[in-house]
Copies of this chain bind each other. A is one copy, B any other.
């Protein structure tokens, strides 16, 4: 069995050596734009070049090194009938849950105020907040959205969830479909986005969405930059409808130096680190699926390419 590794890591051996250890009988290649086809059976990829699918005609499946497969689906020449497999969790959901939790509590418990006092050597107690004043709405109720929801429920926050399809999560009021989107937003003060990026969700956080939220709203975006119409967020902040945003993803990454977000004290910016691919967990999952697939066993995580996730 031949496996082709296609990702922009300058040290691909960090991936290929453990892959070889996990699949001792496999022949492992690293993508080289100038090399001929190696007739790979499987490819492990992150944002692969279009030539991959021109050159490698025997691929039985492509394994994406992340949960979001929007980067892979937009590659031209992706054969319509190829099996695309996304990463399932592999330690991402828990990282996302703790990131969201941390950022939420930073806001609700005014931790920045206490950090500033700490730096100044000042002891001052502020009025405690009521968690009933911070109803939360989570967009996207896949593996990640569900885990974020459960974490926040466990800390007694009021949590609403919205997704295209129907979901049931203990302690969460769930809403589904476009018809209930505005109702969901009307219950929400802290909007958390964990949606996959598809044609249907592109630009879903826009002026209308933000104005449907409860007053003095907060946005936490850990989905994709393209979910948010960035100028609409700035307008909603100027109008006071949104008082704070935590953004881990952006239309353009790295976020350009002259982007207006940097100058806003009420926008928290992190460089796409809310959930990182953990190499060991990821390769254990992917090599296990390659073994199963090669033996004709069913595997999970196969993407519905039409739907986009």
What residues make up the interface of A, taking CB atoms closer than 8 Å to B? 94-95, 97-99, 101-102, 105-106, 109, 111, 114-115, 117-118, 121, 123-126, 128, 130, 150-151, 154-156, 253-255, 257, 262, 268-273, 276, 278
Contacts and interface: CB of A to CB of B under 8 A. Distances in A.
A268 B118 contact: yes
Contact of A101 (B101, B114, B150, B268): B101
20 contacts: A94-B156, A97-B155, A98-B105, A98-B109, A99-B109, A101-B102, A101-B105, A101-B155, A109-B273, A114-B270, A114-B273, A115-B268, A118-B268, A118-B269, A121-B262, A123-B271, A126-B273, A151-B154, A151-B155, A154-B154
Contact of A278 (B128, B155, B269, B272): B128
- Quick one: copies of this chain in the complex? 2
Contact of A155 (B98, B118, B272): B98
Contacts of A130: 278
A133 to B, nearest CB: 13
A115 B273 CA distance: 13
Given A102-B106, A154-B154, A125 B94 contact: no
Contacts of A126: 273
Contact of A123 (B99, B109, B121, B254): B254
A151 B155 CA distance: 8
A261 to B, nearest CB: 10
Contacts of A121: 257, 262
Contacts of A271: 114, 117, 123-125
Nearest to A95: B128
A81 to B, nearest CB: 35
A150 B156 CA distance: 13
Contacts of A111: 102
Nearest to A274: B109
Contacts of A128: 95, 273, 276, 278
Contacts of A156: 94
Given A121-B257, A130-B278, 8 more contacts: A95-B128, A98-B155, A99-B105, A101-B105, A114-B271, A118-B269, A124-B271, A125-B271
A175 B272 CA distance: 39
A94 B268 CA distance: 25
A117 B126 CA distance: 27
Contacts of A124: 271
A272 B106 contact: no
Contacts of A109: 98-99, 102, 273
Contacts of A106: 102
Contact of A125 (B151, B269, B272): B272
